[in-house]
Amino acid sequence: MIIASSLIPLFIAFAAPAQDVDTLPNQQIEIVESANQAIAPAVDFQNNELLTKINARMADTKTARGGFKQTDAMGEITTGDFYLRRPGRVRFEYAAPTPYLIVSDGTTVAIEDKELDTIDRAPLSATPLKHFLKKTLNLAEDTTILDVRSLPDSHLVVIEDNPKNGDEAIDGLVFLKFSKENYDLMGWVTIDGLGNETRVDLFDMELNGNISPRLFVLEDEDNRDRR
């Protein structure tokens, strides 16, 4: 499932050499260093006013569609369209020449490689996507939050990606960026355990419109190779 885990754009970058932490913004360096100490956050985020507003806005968003731009650790940019229908369903259509299509049907995340004519599958429950596609969402309960702050042009929530037990360093971080005005999700930055950074920006979003359930079914009529 290496391909499957590496293509889900919410939390993992495309395979690339490790990025030197010195190239990260100072704000991210501070959070990465403190997080890697594997110390539990001392702040109780359950009653955080900003998180409450973000949770409420995301709960009100039943469907969403729009465009996305993904920038990987090497600076390569890919674009496409996304569709979301909660609970459990999301679709990322990468524009040509990128050959990938990612679809969650509520149970399984499937990644189609049109170039190799293969489909990789992973349980939705085994990915961080499950937290954001739930019918009801509470970031403080569903994730491990490391930081919440307001920036001049947005709000930022930092969560752990796949934390380990014991004193080992965490596997990665996810920086969620929300609109300053209405708390809509604007995008995210992921930093994996090797320091690889991937950025995803969302744009031209339409919320709570009609989206066909058929978009979240990945047909496999040709019985292609499944991994």
Sheet holding 118-123, edge to edge: 145-150, 154-161, 172-179, 185-192, 197-207, 63-71, 77-85, 89-94, 100-105, 108-113, 118-123, 225-226
Instruction: Record the tokens describing residue 197, joined without a space.
Output: 């950074």
**pLDDT class of 80 with cuts at 50, 70, 90:** very high
Question: Which residues, 6 or more positions from 208, have their beta carbon under 8 angstroms from its beta carbon?
Answer: 60, 61, 62, 63, 64
pLDDT of residue 22 exceeding 50? no
**Helices H, strands E: what count in the chain?**
5, 12
- Give the residue from 88, 91, 90, 86 showing the smallest Cα distance to 61: 86
Q: Are strands 225-226 and 100-105 parallel, antiparallel or unpaired?
A: unpaired
- What's the mean pLDDT when you consider all of the chain? 77
Give the pLDDT score at 204: 96
Q: Where are the beta strands (DSSP E) in 25-88?
A: 63-71, 77-85
**pLDDT class of 222 with cuts at 50, 70, 90:** low
Instruction: Record the tokens describing residue 150, joined without a space.
Output: 């307001």
Give the pLDDT score at 84: 95
**pLDDT class of 168 with cuts at 50, 70, 90:** very low
Report long-range pairs for 176-185 (Cβ below 8 Å, ≥24 apart): 178/54, 178/57, 178/154, 179/154, 179/155, 180/150, 180/151, 180/153, 180/154, 180/155, 182/57, 183/53, 183/54, 183/56, 183/57, 183/58, 183/155, 184/57, 184/61, 185/58
The partner residues of 84 in beta bridges, in order of sequence, read 64, 90
Give the pLDDT score at 12: 38
Q: What span, in angstroms and rounded, lies between the C-alpha atoms of 227 and 55? A: 35
Q: Give first-to-last CA distance, the chain, whole Å.
A: 6
Residue ranges of domains in the chain, CATH in brackets: 25-217 (2.50.20.10)
97-148 pLDDT tens trace: 999 999 999 999 999 999 999 999 989 887 777 777 888 888 888 888 888 9
CB atoms near residue 58 (< 10 Å)? 20
169-186 pLDDT tens trace: 446 788 999 999 999 999
